[in-house]
Structure 1
Amino acid sequence: MTNFVLVPGAWLGGWAWDEVAALLRAEGHEVYPVTLSGVAERHGPDAAQVSQAQHVDDIVSVIETNDLYDVVVAGHSYSGIPAGQAAARIGDRLRRVVYVDSNIPTDGQSFIDGWSDEGRAWVEGQLAESGGLWPPLTAEDYADQDLSDDAIALIVARSTPHPGRAISEPAQLVRPIADLPTTYIKCLMDGAEPMPVVRKQLESPQWSLVELNTGHWPMFSRPAELTKILAGLA
């Protein structure tokens, strides 16, 4: 039995993992979906000020409060950044880190630091217009990502603005992520190759790459296939 700590990407709460969590539990694993501070049911008037460091603490707290060992920490999209840092902090509690088509933490770099100048200007403009919050995507943004109409409607209906501070605050690593046992899941409809910073880390003998022929939100588009990959790491 493995303890899975599942962290959703920007705008989403732990509910995003419902189907995968149910499938993993059916195989006998314990599953702890995480809703990060300032998002979903934890969204509130101070959400804009929630830091990326707080998101790391959220994940570590779930692990330490529940006294979990043999932990697989999986982070999707934005949440690869806090998930990777949390994994580096939990020592011998960790079994494996899984990045689900995600960004990965680079010491001293934020989520948006790797974006193009145009992309950063777009995000920073959104934050300025929304009082420091990053507005959720629209239905049109989920096109061509292997999602059903029902899945898109669910995601759009339940998404909440994401803390702007969290995506602009730099990561702080306590140990190199190359040293951690890691699986990177690349969703091919969101680009055929991992981003350059991921390809560099994949040179580590501790890292492995798994490809999944779906879009950027596999917990909605291919929950059974994603579960099979995760369970295979247990």
Structure 2
Amino acid sequence: MRFTWVILFFCISGCILSARERVASFQEQASLTQEPATFVIVHGAWGGSWAFKQLDSILSEQGHRVYRPSLTGQGERVHLASPEIDLYTHILDVVNTVLFEELDEIILVGHSYGGMVITGVADSIPERIARLVYLDAFVPDDGESVMTARGGGELGPERESTDGFVIPRWVNDSDPLPKDVPQSLKTFTTSVSYAHPLAMALPATYILTVDQGKRAEEDDFAFFAQRARQRGWEVVTMTADHNPQWSAVSELAEMLIKTIK
């Protein structure tokens, strides 16, 4: 009887040890699949890094590193606003963030106008980028600008240009901070270079946001989603307005985490 109990004890101990080993192995595999990523998020026109503060918090809480530079003349850098600022000023803002922070294997995210910026960044330092993510954004061909890219865009009859700046009608001086601010017209008229072979070979994801009850092909940025498909990129849709960093931030965070390959 005592011998039987001894055998039973070792069998149970072995099962427990085996189970613990399996759990440890699973946890180790999970940690490998959850390797922290480095996100660099580029905001859209008239905005600033403040627009992605909540998304930053969600991603950071899950162990990822997040950088969200404000482009020159925008956000907290509005005091630097000048009509001489062009698209390449903004491209260099992001390039220098990557270089001076010594970032590598980044997931570079561009929202709306930010798609123009990340395209130029990719053409400049493709070796630092693991993946591009265009969030309801412009996907320019080589030599295109916001003003010449087809398929809808940032500028329309509801905006006006004054003294070299584009000022959306919803921008009011009396609004409290943080808020959208005027942006240099040159940032919309400067053409971008997209010709570096390494840049053109980078993996990319396009996230098309579609308003509730609206068909994807009716969206203002559907043209650019189709261009992304033609380039062989991953294209996904989410139900949200043009600013999911506010209207669907949890879902957006999940989508960005899924881009970690």
Q: Secondary structure at the match of 1:96?
A: strand
- The one-letter code matched in structure 1 to 2:164 is G
Q: Deviations over 1:4-42 (max 9, x none)?
A: 000110111111110100000001010001100111221
Alpha-carbon distance in 2 for matches of 1:104, 1:136: 22
Counterparts of residues 24-39 of structure 1 (less than 5 Å): 24-39=59-74
Alpha-carbon distance in 2 for matches of 1:45, 1:82: 18
- The one-letter code matched in structure 2 to 1:106 is D
- Offset of residue 46 of structure 1: 4.4
Q: Does 1:210 align with 2:236?
A: yes
Q: Secondary structure at the match of 2:132?
A: strand
Q: Which has the higher contact order (CA 8 A, sep 6+)?
A: 1
Contact (CA 8 Å) 1:17, 1:219: kept in 2 or not?
yes
Where does residue 162 of structure 1 map in the other structure?
183
Aligned partner of 1:126 among 151, 154, 160: 160
Identity %: 27
Aligned partner of 2:170 among 138, 150, 164: 138
Gaps of 5+ in 2: 1-35
Q: Deviations over 1:67-93 (max 9, x none)?
A: 111200000001100112212322332
Larger radius of gyration between Structure 1 and Structure 2: 2
- Offset of residue 43 of structure 1: 1.6
- Offset of residue 122 of structure 1: 3.8
Where does residue 14 of structure 1 map in the other structure?
49
Gaps of 5+ in 1: 140-152
Where does residue 192 of structure 1 map in the other structure?
216
Alpha-carbon distance in 1 for matches of 2:155, 2:78: 24
Q: Secondary structure at the match of 1:202?
A: helix
Q: Deviations over 1:49-81 (max 9, x none)?
A: 111011111111111111111200000001100
Alpha-carbon distance in 2 for matches of 1:105, 1:191: 23
Q: CA RMSD in A?
A: 2.6
- With structure 1 as the length reference, what TM-score do the two structures score? 0.83
- The one-letter code matched in structure 2 to 1:200 is R
Change over 3 Å in CA distance of 1:7–1:191 after alignment to 2: farther
Where does residue 247 of structure 2 map in the other structure?
221
Where does residue 182 of structure 1 map in the other structure?
204
| Stretch of structure 1 that moved more, 32-41 or 187-196 | 187-196
Alpha-carbon distance in 2 for matches of 1:82, 1:7: 8
Change over 3 Å in CA distance of 1:116–1:122 after alignment to 2: farther
Runs of 4+ in 1 over 6 A off after TM superposition: none
Alpha-carbon distance in 1 for matches of 2:156, 2:135: 26
Aligned partner of 2:257 among 207, 231, 234: 231
Q: Secondary structure at the match of 2:92?
A: helix
